[in-house]
Structure 1
Amino acid sequence: MRVNAEERRFAVLRAIVADFVRTQEPVGSKMIVDRHNLGVSSATVRNDMAALEDEGLIVQPHTSAGRVPTDKGYRLFVDKLAQVKPLSPAERRAVQAFLDGAIDLDDVLRRSVRLLAQLTRQVAVVQYPTLTRSTVRHLEVVALTPARLMLVLITDSGRVDQRVVDLGEVLTDTDVAALRNMINGALVGRPLAAASAAVAELPLTAPGELRGVVTTVSSVLIETLVEHPEERLVLGGTANLTRNAADFPGSLRQVLEALEEQVVVLKLLAAAQDPGTVTVRIGEENESEQMRATSVVSIGYGANTVLGGMGVVGPTRMDYPGTIAAVHAVARYVGEILAGR
């Protein structure tokens, strides 16, 4: 009997969450009885609501007879989502077609943000692939002049870094080819941290006539391979927050300012380490005080290893099943696309 009472109370909580997310109005017992086929009387629902309120899962706004979910209530609701509502076949085809049209990494990430913002009607954010999780695919060495080289480093995540190096001495085409082979031999297929260590040792094994050039090129490459402290983010759909300004009483400006501070957003995405698992942080669970009125739904993207994080920021009153499904699906497609490049 106790289990049944618990299940029934959770059904009441689920009904309150669903109606409040949809209507933005506090939910009363009569509304629940009328809209949700729970098979119990209004009196029973009122008792269940009183129990849910005692547990801190719902609260009564001062002016209303209805109830709204608390952060704790949303957390229980999210934790008990038995399965993620999958995207419809039409939505999946649309996602795939939209992302498949991307021409390069920048375009993939820009499209992902636009798509997530449209699917969820929230703010979408995607982190550029972090270098520490990437491996080197290739280093191209291009002679701009006999004494000037351009180095083009390409990682498995599709990230491209270019550096120009002034050598102070002249190289022949044969020297450039030897340099290219030597560096690629040390770099290709290695994670960036290991590649950096391998490049640092190259001057020790370089032939005497190339040692000075290899030392110069190595020092430039090490700078490129070491993690950039300022990771880049792509943000989209910020205007969606202003559509529901009532969800952020007195704090919308704080939220917008926090989104401009990349450090805050990067911390939110840092929890997303697993490409298969969506992380949901609700209200007070967010470390940053500016983000306490929001929920953050995030995931790591990448086929085999996590290249970066992506997610959605919105009010705590959000469609969690739909948002989780959208974040999960877009991350999966982005991982597949980058793996195929």
Structure 2
Amino acid sequence: MSADDRRFEVLRAIVSDYVATREPVGSKSLVDRHQLGVSPATIRNDMAVLEDEGYIAQPHTSAGRVPTDKGYRLFVDRLSQVKPMSVGERRAIHSFLSEAVDLDDVLRRAVRSLAQLTRQVAVVQYPTLSRSSVRHVEVVALDPRRLLLVVITDTGRVEQRLVDVGEVADGGDRPATVDHDTVLTLRALLATHVTGRRLADAADGLADLPAQVEPALRPVVRVVVSALLGALVDNPEERLVLSGTSHVTGAWADQPGMLQGVLEAMDEQVTLLKLLTVVQAPDAVHVSIGQENRDDNLARSALVSAGYGSGSTVMGGVAVVGPTRMDYPGTMAAVRAVARYIGEIVSGR
């Protein structure tokens, strides 16, 4: 074993002990707990080198050492592979998620499972609309002057918009109304020009619809098109589901000064959505540590994330947020497993 490999083993032992005990790790405890195959003097020398290179630090005089962000980064990068979850754990996750009745239930169950497995804050992103296709558009007449538009994407996401056609002039002095034939016409138009298309392509198809109907219907079609564009293109709401916020206090118990900032980051979903944009492909696990998060509130936190989707298409992201002192191998395995199951369910496999 080379000196570099031996020092990495020392670093890995320090990370393991610090995660388990939350206490700075000294050379004596490394000798007592780990079979490193070298003398205590060699371990002390290796720790001195690791400290000089910035991988560990001494928080207090006469104290042991703790990993730095750089040390955690090396530890994560040197993981040869994400350790597999047990058969029982995988079976429990799959069974729990497969009982879900709709997309909302899938994501609620997924985020709850992930929070329970990791004892951290878990985050699941709804399938992003920009990567979705339209599976179906339903038009329902609530009364002669109001329509309900229901858009269902291929990921199971549902968007609803209420359209008041009573405010639309039909070319005369009376307000516009809709009857059964108008609803049928709208359904047929949307099925032909929108259903089965990616949202960006569907928007192009919507723009031409008013010109394809008789003049009397154009005011109603225009307001329907406007509502659909607002729902799917102009303001595509991105949503997150969180679970495990009760774990925050315990996870950061030794860093009480960080609690307020972490809670603010949890509340500010835009921050978490930005962090999830780094996910480029399903099944790839990404870990950002400390300052890599580029958010002062998460400067002492780690975020383990993975995408879910179909094939090479990412539909959304899954993540766990915790202190930099976390069980990275276990957390990475749990995040990847849950992301895989969500992808299978959402894509209909």
TM superposition score normalised by structure 1: 0.95
RMSD of aligned C-alpha atoms?
1.6
Task: Please give the residue correspondences for 1:145-294 in structure 2 after superposition, counting only pairs within 5 Å.
Answer: 145-168=143-166, 169-226=176-233, 228=235, 230-294=237-301
For 1:338, the equivalent position in structure 2 comes to 346
How far has the Cα of 1:319 moved from its partner? 0.1
Q: Structure 1 regions of 5+ residues with no counterpart?
A: none
For 1:329, the equivalent position in structure 2 comes to 337
How far has the Cα of 1:17 moved from its partner? 0.5
Q: Please state whether the residue corresponding to 1:51 is helix, strand or coil.
A: helix
How far has the Cα of 1:148 moved from its partner? 2.7
CA distance in 1, matches of 2:159, 2:107: 17
For 1:319, the equivalent position in structure 2 comes to 327
Q: Please state whether the residue corresponding to 1:307 is helix, strand or coil.
A: strand
Determine if the alignment matches structure 1 residue 306 to structure 2 residue 314.
yes
CA distance in 2, matches of 1:277, 1:119: 19
- Once the two structures are superposed, residues 124-159 of structure 1 have per-residue CA deviations (whole angstroms, 9 ceiling, x without a partner) of 111222211111000011122234321110001111
Q: Please state whether the residue corresponding to 2:35 is helix, strand or coil.
A: coil
**Counterpart residue identity of residue 89, structure 1:** V
Stretch deviating more after TM superposition (201-210 or 166-175)? 166-175
For 2:127, the equivalent position in structure 1 comes to 129
**Counterpart residue identity of residue 170, structure 1:** T
How far has the Cα of 1:284 moved from its partner? 1.5
Q: Structure 2 regions of 5+ residues with no counterpart?
A: 167-175
CA distance in 2, matches of 1:172, 1:295: 56
In structure 2, the CA distance between the partners of 1:54 and 1:195, relative to structure 1 (3 Å rule), is: same
**Counterpart residue identity of residue 21, structure 2:** T
In structure 2, the CA distance between the partners of 1:54 and 1:314, relative to structure 1 (3 Å rule), is: same
For 1:82, the equivalent position in structure 2 comes to 80
How far has the Cα of 1:65 moved from its partner? 3.5
Task: Please give the residue correspondences for 1:101-120 in structure 2 after superposition, counting only pairs within 5 Å.
Answer: 101-120=99-118
How far has the Cα of 1:231 moved from its partner? 2.2
**Counterpart residue identity of residue 93, structure 1:** R
For 2:141, the equivalent position in structure 1 comes to 143
TM superposition score normalised by structure 2: 0.93
